[in-house]
Amino acid sequence: MGKRRGLLLSAVVRKESKKVRIGICPGSFDPVTNGHIDIFERGSKLVDKLIVAVFENPSKKHLFTMEEREDMLRETTRHIPNIEVVSFDGLLNEYAIEHGATIIIRGLRALSDFEYEFQRALLMKKVEPRIETVFIMTSTQYSYISSTGIRELACFGGKLDDMVPDYVEKKLREKFADKYNA
Ligand code: ADP
């Protein structure tokens, strides 16, 4: 190989290796739990930038508004340097490609998550083959935590220790206090 061609090739390799890897963690996060935050912390190490994208899940009735969910996510992920919290509505594949994200990161708890996630990942592959869905197994201490369970516990004034950040617990208490006082 000539010297000039060798130089060109190494420039291409350098440029390639500089490519920023962007991941996206989509969810309704109603509200964000310690289980989600564990996935963000671990997922953020796999990419240069991790977009946490809050969306309106049409099949769910939400307790918190999109703005409230986004605010809780921002407040509780400040310690993760390469994270960006956004909200969006529309198609996830279009949003991801527009923002340069090629990896979708999802958390997996039990077998019940698997079937739903498996179908979503296959559907995503069909509509957008450039995107890979990557799963991170829950940490055992968070395996039983779901936003639904947290909302139920909070609704009846149950203890939320170690399940959600303090900021989220405060917001839940305020939300249910408002409901009872309404
Ligand atoms: P969605 O409304 O799309 O189900 P969620 O906000 O409930 O989204 O969850 C977003 C992602 O976080 C999903 O991949 C879900 O499986 C994952 N997740 C939720 N709770 C936990 C947990 N305790 N441990 C690990 N992953 C979790």
Residue-wise pLDDT tens digits, 92-106: 999 999 999 999 999
Query: Minimal CA–CA distance to 107: which of 30, 151, 163, 43?
Result: 43
Within 8 A by CB and 6+ apart from 88, the residues are: 53, 54, 55, 95
Band of the pLDDT at 57, cuts 50, 70, 90?
A: confident
Residue 51 reports pLDDT greater than 60: yes
Q: Could you tell which of 42, 103, 104, 106 is best to mutate to test the pocket of ligand 1, judged by most ligand atoms within 8 Å of the CB?
A: 106
Band of the pLDDT at 12, cuts 50, 70, 90?
A: low
- pLDDT, residue 8, reads 65
> Is the separation of the CB atoms in 39 and 107 below 8 Å?
yes
- pLDDT, residue 86, reads 97
Tell me the CA–centroid distance for residue 108 and ligand 1, in Å.
7
Q: What is the mean pLDDT of residues 45-63?
A: 91
Atom of ligand 1 nearest to the CA of 137: 25
Residue 42 reports pLDDT greater than 60: yes
- pLDDT, residue 165, reads 97
**Which amino acids are annotated catalytic?**
36, 60, 109, 147
- pLDDT, residue 19, reads 85
Q: What are the DSSP calls for 14-70, one per residue?
A: HHHHTPPPEEEEEE--TT--HHHHHHHHHHTTTSSEEEEEEE--TTS--SS-HHHHH
Q: Could you tell which of 138, 140, 141 is best to mutate to test the pocket of ligand 1, judged by most ligand atoms within 8 Å of the CB?
A: 138
Within 8 A by CB and 6+ apart from 161, the residues are: none
- More reliable by pLDDT, 50 or 59: 50
If you average pLDDT over every residue of the chain, what do you get?
Answer: 91
- Beta bridge partners, 88, equal 55
> Is the separation of the CB atoms in 95 and 127 below 8 Å?
no
Residue 34, both tokens: 């310690």
Residue 168 one-letter amino acid: V
CA distances from 153 to 12, 94, 162, 164, 181 (A): 55, 36, 13, 12, 18
pTM recorded for the entire structure: 0.88
Q: What is the mean pLDDT of residues 7-36?
A: 82
State the DSSP code for 143: T
Atom of ligand 1 nearest to the CA of 147: 7
Q: 5-19, 56-70, 131-145, 148-162 — which is least confidently predicted? A: 5-19
Residue nearest to atom 4 of ligand 1 (CA): 27
Query: Minimal CA–CA distance to 46: which of 107, 142, 136?
Result: 136
Residue 35 reports pLDDT greater than 70: yes
Mind listing the pLDDT tens digit for each residue in 93-139? 999 999 999 999 999 998 788 999 999 999 999 999 999 999 999 99
Query: Minimal CA–CA distance to 28: which of 88, 78, 77, 76?
Result: 88
